[in-house]
């Protein structure tokens, strides 16, 4: 809704100050002839009952009744309701947006409803207009700019807005007076702010708060502390939160409050008060104090909140880099924080990591630390985030294989299969495709889908050893004997550790199948090679059928097998335990 309105306002302003023309009897020509709302009569208040009666009896004259009701609502500071009435008018007559009076009313309603950015658009002067802006328009623009913390721009409108403000009753003038006083304080003019506030009631909490701020800026800490304490006791929740923040700032200014104690008090304040300028100022102060003290965790929490929830343009140009530095101090190679806690921090603040190579390197380094500590799932989650959000094109190929590998080690082969299938691309290099297929085959075998795993490996070059390993783990003896034919070493060749394990496993498979003739041939072929090897006695155990003998010789042979694996670095994946699936409800 708000986005569509912004577009409509933009188009209306682009159309210039053309006179509205619509079909049939419309209100726009009448409103165009009326003077702009200004002075004491700008927003006349009408009792709601009377406004509702006028709306109920109006037939063709409903738009004038709506206009009177909207002005009355603005006069009562009921901006959201006024927006609803003006929206209805605009829907019936889109040309109303071309009229200065309507845009002024709409801008006032938006300002009261705290839609300040849209309010500035509605209150913008018509393009090419030569007339000086009206005082009423200046007053509402000043207030919207002050809400957006654009204080210098707002200060430039004070002179223009003054006639409209002086024409108002004192009560209606108060919000604008408070805005002007705030502008004076934020632009380094506490004396001017005090002068503006001189006419405000002494018991007004907002005015008291600003008077105390002016005194604090002038170095009058004792009276400022007294006034802040009064507001903290008697003001609204928003005023009390602001007063608490000001007391902390005064304590720091007169050195009665240590930075560490100030950080604790600021933390307590922001725990219970969120979402406005008070929190923003409190977070900014926390970040500065914590960074100066080397309290990286507190600085990161405050800086992260400022980056995520507040207007970054109000921070220094290098603020993002400063927050990133605090994160790196906690998770970098030289950090002393416990690894699980550091992993949680990195995951919570992953959106703050530096972009490009430096951020990727930080993730890679930390993921390696997690792997070394056996925290495979955390490492997989971290690299999966990098894969989906920081990596594109064919660079996803090797990274996806690595993430899937970690998921298998974490006992989640199903997640590994899903990841590899969802990250498939046609432009991966043959080497990348082969690596991904090997990992996928292992994951499928872990899920018990051995036939699918073997089928995938049939298309992967140099995968005979992995295929044999999968079949060995699954005790698929007949398939293992067939797969081993290409792996068996030459009879005259020296038997390496890997060659020995291949022959021994082949012998076990033949013995389990009862294929004694082939087993005898295998003994004749490799007996000389095993004669001088430590595994020779294992080879000797496998001299006949193992079936029907209680499994004793098989157990002895399996226990005595060398620990070397034909597939090197892939072996731990096949040995990884599979975590049980958690049922979903």
Selected residue with higher pLDDT from 495 and 283? 283
pLDDT at residue 510 tops 50: yes
Mean pLDDT (whole number) for 256-281: 95
Quick check: is 409 in a domain? no
With a cut of 70, say whether residue 179 has pLDDT above it: yes
pLDDT of residue 12: 43
- In this predicted model, what pLDDT tens digit does every residue of 66-76 receive, in sequence order? 999 999 999 99
Q: What is the pLDDT of residue 333?
A: 82
Q: What is the chain's percent helix, strand, coil content, to nearest 5?
A: 70, 0, 30
Tokens read off for 561 = 């097998």
Percent of the chain exceeding pLDDT 90 equals 65
Query: Is 285 a domain residue?
Result: no
Residue 137 covered by a domain? yes
pLDDT tens column, 229-244: 999 998 899 999 999 9
pLDDT at 6 over 60: no
Per-position b or e across 174-188, b if 16+ CB within 10 A of its CB: bbbbbbbbbbbbbee
In a domain, 236, yes or no: no
How many structural domains are present in the chain? 2
Among 112, 136, 168, the domain boundary falls at: 168
CB 470 within 8 A of CB 441: yes
DSSP state of 97: G
226 in any annotated domain: no
Name the nearest CA neighbour of 205 among 179, 176, 234: 234
- What gap in Å lies between CA 86 and CA 102, rounded to an integer? 8
CB 140 within 8 A of CB 111: yes
pLDDT at 84: 95
> pLDDT at position 558, please?
67
Distance CA 456, CA 488 (A): 22
- Residues spanned by the domain of 66: 36-168
Could you count the other beta carbons within 10 Å of the beta carbon of residue 257? 16
pLDDT at residue 259 greater than cutoff 90: yes
Asked whether 200 and 172 are in contact (CB, 8 A), the reply is no
Q: Is 470 in contact with 519 (CB distance < 8 Å)?
A: no
For 435-459, write each residue's pLDDT tens digit: 999 999 999 999 999 999 999 999 8
| pTM of the complete model | 0.73
Q: What is the average pLDDT score of the chain? A: 88
For residues 39 and 24, what is the distance between their CA atoms, to the nearest angstrom? 33
- Residue 43, CB half-sphere, CA atoms under 13 Å: how many? 27
Whether the CA torsion 44, 46, 48, 53 is positive or negative: it is negative
pLDDT at residue 10 is higher than 50: no
Instruction: Assess whether pLDDT exceeds 60 at residue 292.
Output: yes
Q: What is the mean pLDDT of residues 516-531?
A: 86
In this prediction, residues 299-321 reach a mean pLDDT of: 94
Distance CA 103, CA 323 (A): 41
Q: What is the pLDDT of residues 201-254, one digit of tens each?
A: 998 999 999 999 999 999 999 999 999 999 999 889 999 999 999 999 999 999
pLDDT at 189: 96
Name the token pair of 558: 């399996």
Residue 418 falls inside a structural domain: no
Out of 72-81, 92-101, 242-251, 525-534, which region has the weakest mean confidence (pLDDT)? 525-534
Contact between 246 and 209 (Cβ < 8 Å): yes
Can you tell me the distance from the alpha carbon of 462 to that of 465, in angstroms, rounded to the nearest whole number? 8
231, 239 contact by CB (below 8 A): yes
- CB–CB of 62/88 below 8 Å? no
| Residue 444 covered by a domain | no
Extract the tokens encoding 361.
Answer: 């390197």
Structure tokens at 562: 């060398």
CA distance 283 to 299: 9
Structure tokens at 425: 């691309």
* Any domain includes 119: yes
Work out the number of other CB atoms within 10 angstroms of the CB of residue 221. Answer: 16
- Answer yes or no: are the C-beta atoms of 262 and 252 closer than 8 Å: yes
Q: Taking residues 575-584, what's their average pLDDT? A: 74
CA pair distance 149, 183, nearest whole angstrom: 8
DSSP state of 489: P
Residue 158, domain CATH: 1.25.40
- d(C-alpha 42, C-alpha 34), whole Å: 12
Confidence band, pLDDT 50/70/90 cuts, at residue 548: very low
Q: Residues 374-394: pLDDT tens digits?
A: 999 999 999 999 999 998 889
pLDDT at 544: 54
Dump the DSSP string for 12-27.
Answer: HHHT-SPPP--SSS-S
- The alpha helices in 113-236, defined as continuous H runs, are 116-122, 135-147, 151-155, 158-166, 170-186, 190-197, 205-217, 221-234
pLDDT of residue 495: 84
**Number of helical (H) and strand (E) elements in the chain, helices listed first:** 33, 0
Planar angle of CA 386, 391, 394, nearest 5 degrees:
135
- Exposure string for 142-169, b = 16+ CB within 10 A, e = fewer: bbbbbbbbbbeebbebbebbbebbebbe
pLDDT tens for 468-507 read 999 998 889 999 998 888 889 887 777 888 888 899 889 8
For residue 321, the tally of other CB atoms under 10 A from its CB is 10
Q: Which helix (H) or strand (E) holds 102?
A: helix 100-112
The band of 543, judged by pLDDT with boundaries at 50, 70 and 90, is low
- The pLDDT assigned to 289 comes to 98
Is residue 22's pLDDT more than 80?
Answer: no
| Interval 166-170 mean pLDDT | 91
């Amino acid at each position: 809704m708000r986005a569509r309105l912004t577009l409509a306002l933009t188009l209306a302003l682009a159309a210039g100050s053309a006179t509205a023309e619509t079909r049939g009897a419309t209100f726009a020509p009448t409103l165009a002839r009326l003077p702009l709302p200004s002075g004491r009569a700008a927003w006349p208040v009408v009792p709601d009952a009377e406004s509702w009666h006028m709306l109920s009896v109006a037939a063709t004259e409903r738009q004038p009744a709506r206009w009177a009701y909207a002005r009355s609502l603005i006069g009562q500071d009921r901006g959201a309701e006024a927006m609803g009435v003006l929206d209805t008018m605009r829907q019936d007559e889109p040309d109303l947006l071309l009229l200065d009076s309507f845009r002024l009313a709409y801008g006032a309603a938006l300002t009261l409803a705290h839609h300040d950015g849209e309010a500035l658009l509605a209150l913008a002067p018509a393009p090419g207009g030569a007339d000086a802006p009206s005082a009423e328009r200046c007053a509402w623009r000043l207030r919207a700019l002050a809400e957006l913390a654009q204080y210098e721009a707002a200060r430039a409108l004070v002179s223009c807005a003054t006639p409209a403000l002086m024409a108002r009753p004192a009560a209606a003038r108060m919000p604008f007076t408070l805005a002007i006083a705030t502008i004076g304080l934020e632009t380094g003019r506490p004396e001017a702010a005090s002068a503006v506030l001189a006419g405000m009631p002494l018991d007004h909490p907002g005015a008291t708060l600003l008077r105390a701020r002016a005194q604090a800026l002038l170095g009058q800490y004792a009276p400022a502390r007294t006034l802040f304490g009064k507001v903290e006791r008697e003001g609204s929740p928003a005023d009390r939160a602001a007063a608490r923040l000001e007391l902390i700032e005064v304590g720091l200014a007169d050195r009665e409050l240590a930075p560490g104690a100030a950080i604790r008090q600021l933390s307590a304040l922001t725990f219970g008060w969120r979402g406005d300028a008070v929190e923003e100022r409190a977070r900014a102060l926390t970040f500065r104090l914590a960074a100066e003290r080397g309290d990286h965790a507190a600085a990161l929490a405050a800086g992260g909140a400022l980056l995520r929830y507040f207007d970054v343009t109000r921070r220094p140009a290098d603020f993002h880099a400063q927050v990133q530095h605090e994160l790196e101090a906690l998770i970098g190679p030289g950090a002393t924080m416990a690894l699980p806690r550091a992993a949680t921090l990195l995951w919570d603040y992953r959106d703050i990591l530096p972009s490009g190579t430096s951020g990727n390197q930080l993730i890679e380094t930390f993921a390696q630390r997690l792997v070394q500590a056996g925290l495979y799932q955390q490492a997989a989650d971290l690299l999966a985030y990098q894969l989906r959000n920081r990596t594109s094109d064919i660079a996803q190929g090797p990274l996806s294989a690595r993430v899937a590998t970690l998921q298998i080690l974490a006992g989640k082969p199903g997640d590994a299969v899903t990841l590899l299938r969802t990250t498939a691309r046609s432009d991966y290099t043959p080497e990348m495709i082969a690596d991904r297929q090997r990992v996928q085959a292992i994951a499928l075998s872990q899920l018990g889908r051995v036939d699918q795993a073997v089928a995938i490996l049939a298309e992967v070059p140099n995968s005979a050893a992995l295929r044999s390993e999968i079949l060995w783990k699954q005790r698929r003896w007949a398939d293992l004997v067939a797969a081993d034919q290409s792996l068996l070493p030459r009879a005259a060749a020296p038997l390496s550790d890997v060659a020995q394990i291949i022959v021994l496993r082949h012998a076990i498979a033949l013995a389990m199948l009862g294929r004694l003739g082939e087993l005898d041939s295998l003994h004749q072929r490799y007996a000389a090679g095993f004669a001088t090897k430590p595994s020779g006695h294992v080879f000797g155990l496998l001299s006949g059928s193992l079936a029907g003998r209680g499994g004793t010789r098989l157990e002895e042979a399996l226990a005595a097998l060398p620990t070397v694996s034909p597939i090197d670095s892939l072996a731990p994946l096949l040995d990884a335990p599979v975590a049980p699936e958690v049922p979903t409800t």
